[in-house]
Amino acid sequence: MMSNATANVLRYSAGMNLIELRRLRAFVAVAEEGHITRAAERLGMQQPPLTRLLHGLEKELGVLLMHRLPRGVRPTEAGKALLTEARAVLARAEGLNDVVRRAARGEQGRLAIGFTSSAALHPFVPAALRTFREALPGVSIVLEEAGTGELVDALLHERLDAAFVRSSVASMANLLVDPVLDEPMIAALPLGHRLAADTASPLPLATLAAEEFVLYRRPAGPGLYDAILAACRTAGFSPIIAQEAPRLPATLSLVAAGLGVSIVPASMQRLGGENIAYRRLDGCPDLSAPLHLTMRRTVLSPVLARFRALVRQMKDNHPPTP
């Protein structure tokens, strides 16, 4: 059964704060050295102040912490209980500075990153996430896939720290946008389509004027949607939009089913698809799929600043190819 003295010590230890760390260090030194003089030398202080610290702690707790022996001291049962708790508290306190410094350097914390489905398929995005995780294992990374509109809303409402998006949202006053890359757009055609045979040569965009299109819904991806329509108008036609899909992967599924043709970022070829043929486009130099890293226009957290710097470094040193 726990003694009253031990119970008092445990109740005291549960309420300890940083102001009492000096007392705890003194007590631990005395208990470990078994001698007040040696403990005073270890702590770099005189014996009388150390004795007063020990007496003050015993008085506050209302228990005897040390048996006074002819040649030293030995912890009582209550003293042994306090010794266990004091060592744990001091260990946590000693690690506190390191935790705070790591967080200030962006080496520890949490980072919530969003991305569109097409952004995730470009090798740059998984490479950046993997490199960051390997470099800073102390940072917890939370990922979310959604459409551009949903990602922007999550950024503005602080549910996300940053997002990889295809649309330029630089016009929004509260958002900061870092351009990352531009990749070409290509035609996706149902296998067996009359234009799908010659995959080696580029396909003039104007040859798709009579085709039915399957496009990614504009609210989910306004940047790509508007870019495709603008390129078609420049080529002399308005596309016949037969179907709209909620996500780019779903767009390819509809193409594979023979419901129309589409224009997608070149990296979408990574999805494969047995019933889809891809062709490079000709005559539309301005048609490309940008990738941006978007953040709130505010003081960046240390973790987010580290991630932004990594993305910039990867962009400058290793230009990605689709």
Tens digits of per-residue pLDDT, 2-21? 455 444 444 444 444 433 78
Output the pLDDT for position 194. 92
Name the band, by pLDDT with cuts 50, 70 and 90, for residue 222: low
Please choose, from the candidates 134, 199, 178, the residue with its C-alpha nearest in 3D space to the C-alpha of residue 300: 178
Fold of 4-104: Arc Repressor Mutant, subunit A (1.10.10)
Query: What mean pLDDT is reported for the chain?
Result: 84
Alpha carbons 120 and 212: distance in angstroms, whole number:
27
CA dist 147 and 155 (Å) reads 12
Note the pLDDT tens digit of each residue in 149-201: 889 999 999 999 999 998 766 566 788 999 999 899 999 999 999 999 888 88
**Residues, the chain:** 322
How far is it, in rounded angstroms, from Cα 248 to Cα 30? 69
Please name the residue ranges forming H helices in the chain.
4-14, 21-33, 36-43, 47-61, 77-104, 117-121, 124-135, 148-156, 222-234, 248-256, 302-317
Mean pLDDT, rounded, for 216-230 = 77
276 near 189, Cβ under 8 Å? yes
Res. 114 pLDDT band, cuts 50 70 90: very high
- Give the integer Cα–Cα distance in Å for 281 and 185: 7
Segments making up each domain of the chain, as ranges = 4-104, 109-180+290-317, 183-288
- Looking at domain 183-288, which of 3.40.190.10, 3.40.1640.10, 3.40.50.720, 3.50.50.60 is its CATH number? 3.40.190.10
pLDDT of residue 281: 93
The helix/strand/coil state of 79 is: helix
Model confidence, pTM = 0.67
Compare 310 and 89 and report the one with higher pLDDT: 310
CATH classification number, 109-180+290-317, choose in 3.30.565.10, 3.40.50.300, 3.90.550.10, 3.40.190.10: 3.40.190.10
pLDDT at residue 90, as a whole number: 82
Residue in the structure block whose two tokens are 């495709």: 228
Question: Are 165 and 292 a contacting pair, CB within 8 Å?
Answer: yes
